[in-house]
Structure 1
Amino acid sequence: MSYTTEQLLEILDQELRAAWRGERVLLSSSDRLNNSVVAKALGSEKLSKVFAIQDFREQVHQYQREHEVSGLVWHTCRFQGRSIRFPELHPQLTAIAQDRQTLIAAKAAVIAFWRESLGEMRLWLAGRPPQPTTLAHVERLIHSTEWAEIDATRTELYLSLCWGDPKDCRCDWARPDSGCERIIAAIAEPSSIKV
C-alpha cells in the first residue's frame, strides 16, 4: 500500500525540520553549485541543508510518479458569504498525469464561483503595476486556458487562469508551453498584495 498525499506532506515536513536542525548532511553540496563565490558566501552548512531538502523532495516526486500519488490538495476559498472547494498543486509535491485532468475538471465550478462573486468590481491584469482590463478580455482568457484557481481577501478576488504543466505554470520561464494569467477583481484599484 502506498503513502497518501497527506502522508507524503507530513514526511516532507519532518525531513525539512530535520535538515534545518542539521540532522541531514550532504558532504558534496559545495561541489554542486557552479558559482564558487555564492557557495563560499552561503557556507557549506547552509548549502548542505538546501541540497539535502532538494534531494529528498526529488525522491518524494519520484515516489509519487511510480505509485501514482496525487500532488493535489483541496483548497477552500471564501468570499462574501460564498465558498468553493477546489484542487490545487501543493508547492512541495509534483503533479501526476491524473492531477492535470482533475484541475481541468474543476475549472467550470471555479469560473462559476468567480462570475457569481464579481458584482460591480473592476478587473485588472496582475502585474507591476496592475493593468485595467475588461470582462470580455477575461472571458477570452478563460476560454483559452485549461484550469482555474481562485483566492480572496476580504475585498478582492484573485483568479488564476493556467495551462500546461501544473508544476511550472507559475514560472515565467515556462511560457508559452505553461503559464498562468492572473486577474484581480477589486472595487477600486487593487491593493499591493502580490498574487
Structure 2
Amino acid sequence: MVYTTAELLDFLDQELRAAWRGERMVLSSEERLNPVVAKAIGTEKLSKVFAVQDFRDQIHHYQREHNVSGLVWHTCRFQGRSHQFPELHPQLIATAADKQTLQSAKTGVIEFWRNSIANLRLWRSGTPPLPLELNTIERWIAEAEWAEIDATRAELYLRLCWGDPKVCHYDWARPDSGCERIIAAIAEPSSIKV
C-alpha cells in the first residue's frame, strides 16, 4: 500500500508537533553549521529544525520512489464566484505528473480570472505596484506554463508560473523558474505581497 498525499501531510504535521515538543533529537545538528552559529542558536533549537528537515527529506524521497503527488486542491472565492485548482503544497515536491496537472488546470484558472476582472485595474505586484496593460498580461499568459489564483475581499491575485513548481515563487530562481504576479483591484492595491 502506498501512502496518499493527505497521509504524507498528516505524517509531516505529526512529526513537526513531536519535534517542537522536544520528542525528536538530531545529535549531529551542531556539526551541520558553523560552530559560532550553532552556539548562538542553541543545540535544542537546531536539533528541532534538523529533525523536521530530515523527516521532510524522507517524505520527498518517498514521493519520488512511489510517485506520490505533492498537489493539494485550493478553492479561490471572489465576488460570488469560486474556482478549484491544484497547487503544490509547500512541504512537498512536485512529480512529473503534478506539473502536467498544473499545466492542464491553467485554462480554467485563466478563464476564472478573466471573468472576474471587469471594472478592476491591473497592477504588477511590487514596491511600488506598477499599472499593467491587458495586452502585456495576455503575452505573459501565453508564455506561462501554469497559473495560480487567490483573492481577498477586494483584490484578485494571479500568478503566471514556469519552471520548477517548488521554487517558482522565489526571485532567486529566475530565469529558469518564476512567476509574474498580477493584482486586480478597484483602485491602487493594498500592500499585501503576492
User: TM > 0.5 between the two?
Assistant: yes
> Which amino acid letter does the alignment assign opposite residue 124 of structure 1?
W
- CA drift of 1:23 comes to 0.5
Cα-to-partner distance string for 1:125-155 (whole Å, 9 max, x where unaligned) = 1112211111111111111110000000001
Relative to the length of structure 2, the TM-score reads: 0.98
Q: How many pairs are equivalent?
A: 194
Partner of 1:77, secondary structure, is: strand
Cα-to-partner distance string for 1:1-45 (whole Å, 9 max, x where unaligned) = 100000000000000000000100001101101x33322211011
**Partners of 2:103 and 2:173 in 1: CA distance:** 19
**Partners of 2:171 and 2:155 in 1: CA distance:** 24
> Which amino acid letter does the alignment assign opposite residue 109 of structure 1?
G
**Which residue of 2 is the match for residue 8 of structure 1?**
8
**Partners of 2:57 and 2:171 in 1: CA distance:** 22
Q: Which runs of 4+ in 1 moved over 3 A?
A: none
**Which residue of 2 is the match for residue 127 of structure 1?**
126
Note the aligned Cα RMSD (angstroms).
0.7
> Which amino acid letter does the alignment assign opposite residue 131 of structure 1?
L
**Which residue of 2 is the match for residue 23 of structure 1?**
23
**Partners of 2:36 and 2:81 in 1: CA distance:** 52
Relative to the length of structure 1, the TM-score reads: 0.98
**Partners of 2:137 and 2:35 in 1: CA distance:** 46
**Partners of 1:158 and 1:7 in 2: CA distance:** 30
> Which amino acid letter does the alignment assign opposite residue 113 of structure 1?
F
**Partners of 1:171 and 1:3 in 2: CA distance:** 29
Identity across matched positions, percent: 74
Q: Establish whether residue 58 from structure 1 lines up as the match of residue 57 from structure 2.
A: yes
Identify unmatched segments of 5+ residues in structure 2.
Answer: none
- CA drift of 1:97 comes to 0.6
**Which residue of 2 is the match for residue 32 of structure 1?**
32
**Partners of 1:40 and 1:129 in 2: CA distance:** 39
